[in-house]
Amino acid sequence: MTLITARGDQRSKKIWYASYGSNLSYQKRFMCYIAGGTPAGATKRNPGCRDTTPPIEQRPITFELELYFAGYARSWGGAPAFVKKGTEPSTTYGRMYLITYEQFNDVVLQENNMQVDDTAFVPAFEQLVCDDEHELPAGRLYGHLLRVATEGEWPVITFTTSRTNLPIRAPSEAYLKIIVSGLRETYPTMTTYKIAEYLSHAEGVRGLIPRDRLVSWVEGAK
């Protein structure tokens, strides 16, 4: 790993970070990664980025990957969200934020429970622009970067896991409600029925959370 030394240069390079899990919620979740704070329903405080400037822009995005829940996140009390290439056509509803390369690096560090310092953990910006996939060192949980699109002159990148041994598990009520809040913020016309239907197809929800409970959680999300 190298050090980010030219701060001004790194801040001039932008990345569209494409979220699909709890980071769909801008104020309740994602800004805790940018400015620091504890997300609603979680127990762990995020230190924030070195540059706490809010995203320059944000937009909805869909990508052809399969949403699923696996493993266990202690701070949420349940399984976190991931995406993968599925065997059947799938659509994941996302929200992308235009942030600096440095901020993207710091978000990835926090997602992987690492200290935010001057370490450049993600590949160089030029590699992120050119390559479709990157595997981060040390087998980190959110260590697989995927370039899912290009918007204007900037790459659209999400991250997930490459671990194949994570057991499929259900997300907690608090975690799922943050996702629902983010979906409503990003897709205002999305009805309770459509949100519940979308989530019900995801591994970790399908067959593990009864339909009536899922609908109740969706209805109760603020």
Q: Residue 119 domain-assigned?
A: yes
Judgement on whether residues 132 and 43 belong to the same structural domain of the protein: yes
Domain match, 189 and 151 both: no
One-letter amino acid for residue 64 of the chain: E
Q: Write down the pLDDT at residue 15.
A: 98
13: tokens are 């390079």
Q: What is the pLDDT of residues 106-155, one digit of tens each?
A: 999 999 999 999 889 999 999 999 999 999 998 999 999 999 999 999 99
Question: Is 196 in contact with 177 (CB distance < 8 Å)?
Answer: no
**Cα Rg, the chain, nearest whole Å:** 17
16 closest CA partner among 148, 160, 185: 148
131 and 54 within one domain: yes
Q: Which residues, in sequence order, are bridge partners of residue 92?
A: 63
Query: pLDDT for 65-81, tens place per residue?
Result: 999 999 999 999 999 99
Domain count, the chain: 2
Statement to judge: residues 35 and 56 lie in one domain: yes
Out of 124, 139, 160, a domain closes at 160
- Domain span at residue 200 reads 173-220
pLDDT at 162: 95
pTM (predicted TM-score): 0.94
pLDDT computed for residue 9 by the predictor: 60
* pLDDT bracket for residue 222 (50, 70, 90): confident
The verdict on residue 141 lying in a domain is yes
pLDDT in tens, 170-217: 999 999 999 999 999 999 999 999 999 999 999 999 999 999 999 999
The enclosing domain of 41 has a CATH number of 3.10.490
pLDDT at 7 over 80: no
Q: Is 167 inside a domain boundary? A: no
Phi/psi region, residue 152 (left: phi>0; alpha: psi -120 to 50; beta: rest), is: left
Give a yes or no: residue 120 inside a domain. yes
* CA distance readout (Å), 149 to 21, 32, 137, 156: 18, 25, 23, 5
Largest CA distance in the chain: 53
* Residue 6 confidence (pLDDT) above 50: no
Specify whether 192 is located in the same domain as 84. no
**Model confidence at 5: pLDDT above 50:** no
pLDDT band for 87, please (50, 70, 90 cuts). confident
